[in-house]
Structure 1
């Protein structure tokens, strides 16, 4: 007869007690602000301007279209803006199965979980070339949705073949489902884990029980991820989940991946709206937990780009 795994008892206990997280970012912060879906450098400048105007500390922007569709000049511009404003710039690695035409299963209802992954050795090699291009351009933060690529990057980083300040962010599209899976990704080389936005506070405590790195949560998620809004939970999310990236997507907003000049207006207006949502979220946090400590925006942080 099998014995009940002790780790499940530990997770159940954490889920009931909801303890304060003792972990912090390296700079002492409990939380950072991430603005996702910043799909152009123009939108990046809008985000920087709006954050300054609305008093929102900006620590990270992320992008879903991927570096594959960016010109070298645009990639360098992302790097320059991030370096100038001390903002982590996290861009998606491609190619992805739902887009590259090599995996029909990724387009089916049952096979959708493969959509953002790199199916086969050729796709994995192409993704690795994206990684090399990103790092050579000065990027120090990569958005990844494939376990194999995370492991490959982790091995290269451990061997000193990739920079030590490189951040690997496990995408929400990976479908991280439980704390044991999250720990496996962290052990493989992920530094930042995007868990589901409808994660209960009890399960958040369980994630924190087994992981040491940053957790990422959409406080407001886009419709494709459920459209959940967790504004009133923000004080507890920070208390229990620190260190945590607070992400602000938009419900009832168009999906524009991969973006381009033909979608410039909606990309920019959506980016501005996300900053306003972040301000609303911060006000909820300040009212409910006024002592919550953000990472300083002017401190040295891994993931901030280094112009080549």
Structure 2
């Protein structure tokens, strides 16, 4: 399954390409991120699209069978698609396995009645349209945290800032973490730094950012980065497994998200999609095993955060007393 930690670090194919005179340009120490998680780790793992208690149980069982460490699971349909009992069941199972549970908050523009999201411009995209949508996201956040959820997924900058201010004011638990969705992921260092200052504890960047662009982000922000190693089709369907070692080197601290291309859309989820939810949950864990094996073969599987790690460390914020 996994090679010895003593495997010499190498780039893919270099043992053949070097002697043939086809070696890649040498890596520069200046390219490497100098940041880590507070536990000293440079990367963690995340299984996305875990749509309910049965899917979570499937992920946890498969992760144990395949020896895939899971730091976080995230759900995409939203808090509103789960009953109190279902949330409580997920909270309990995640806690028993020392896994952070992250649930999506509230309404999003792409499901709203506003017509602009159906145009070529996509309008405001998934962002919360109007006060009522912001209020719905806040309602979801309150309900989820009261049931024990410690991580909230957001797809709107205003909602992010509101929840961060609520956390700072003691209206939400202080150890609540806020994760920016891939649906609004920033694509430049200035925007990434703004998300950090608005309260983001991890920021999902689009999976088509280049390695140099990741380095540019890391020059201005230490906020943990989330990135699909394999992206769903609606986010591009990119598969970047062979770049994982370099993604970590450039993007640390980094959550490796094991998504799935060529899979059916699951949001909003329900019993009508049960088989797809469970089968794709199992395959996402398997994709994780493939990535971990690849890292081991390249001698790049060191510096993973210890299981159970979840907090991001000290980050820079805008003053929240205004």
Per-residue deviation, 1:298: 4.1
For 1:272-305, what per-residue CA distance to the aligned partner results, in whole angstroms no more than 9, with x for missing partners?
0001111111112122243521111145x339xx
Q: Is contact 2:185-2:203 (8 Å) kept?
A: no
Per-residue deviation, 1:161: 2.2
- Cα distance in structure 1, aligned partners of 2:46 and 2:93: 15
Cα distance, 1:298–1:94 mapped onto 2, change above 3 Å: closer
- Cα distance in structure 1, aligned partners of 2:139 and 2:206: 29
Q: Which residue of 1 aligns with 2:272?
A: 262
Deviates more, 1:157-166 or 1:28-37: 157-166
Q: Is contact 2:245-2:295 (8 Å) kept?
A: yes
**SS of equivalent residue, structure 1 residue 210:** coil
2:112 corresponds to 1:100: yes
For 1:92-144, what per-residue CA distance to the aligned partner results, in whole angstroms no more than 9, with x for missing partners?
1111122232x2212222125x2321111111111111111111111010110
- Cα distance in structure 1, aligned partners of 2:173 and 2:223: 18
Q: Is contact 1:238-1:292 (8 Å) kept?
A: no
- Cα distance in structure 2, aligned partners of 1:212 and 1:34: 19
Q: Which residue of 2 aligns with 1:302?
A: 311
* Cα root mean square deviation, aligned: 1.7
Deviates more, 1:152-161 or 1:191-200: 152-161
Of 83, 88, 91 in structure 2, the residue corresponding to residue 71 of structure 1 is: 83
Of 195, 198, 203 in structure 1, the residue corresponding to residue 205 of structure 2 is: 195
- Cα distance in structure 1, aligned partners of 2:264 and 2:69: 26
Aligned residues: 286
Unaligned runs of 5+ in 1: 1-14, 304-308
- Cα distance in structure 1, aligned partners of 2:233 and 2:166: 36
Unaligned runs of 5+ in 2: 1-26, 313-322
Q: Which residue of 1 aligns with 2:315?
A: none
2:116 corresponds to 1:116: no
- Cα distance in structure 2, aligned partners of 1:53 and 1:93: 31
- Cα distance in structure 2, aligned partners of 1:296 and 1:215: 17
Q: Which residue of 2 aligns with 1:37?
A: 49
- Cα distance in structure 2, aligned partners of 1:100 and 1:81: 32
Per-residue deviation, 1:245: 0.3
Cα distance, 1:278–1:18 mapped onto 2, change above 3 Å: farther
TM-score normalised according to structure 1 size: 0.89
- Cα distance in structure 2, aligned partners of 1:41 and 1:211: 35
**SS of equivalent residue, structure 2 residue 152:** strand
Of 42, 50, 65 in structure 1, the residue corresponding to residue 62 of structure 2 is: 50
Q: Is contact 2:71-2:308 (8 Å) kept?
A: no
Q: Is contact 2:99-2:308 (8 Å) kept?
A: no
- Cα distance in structure 2, aligned partners of 1:274 and 1:149: 29
TM-score normalised according to structure 2 size: 0.85
- Cα distance in structure 1, aligned partners of 2:213 and 2:29: 11
For 1:213-233, what per-residue CA distance to the aligned partner results, in whole angstroms no more than 9, with x for missing partners?
110000000111111111111
Per-residue deviation, 1:18: 4.9
Q: Which residue of 2 aligns with 1:236?
A: 246
Per-residue deviation, 1:16: 8.1
Query: Which structure dedicates a bigger proportion of its chain to helix?
Result: 1
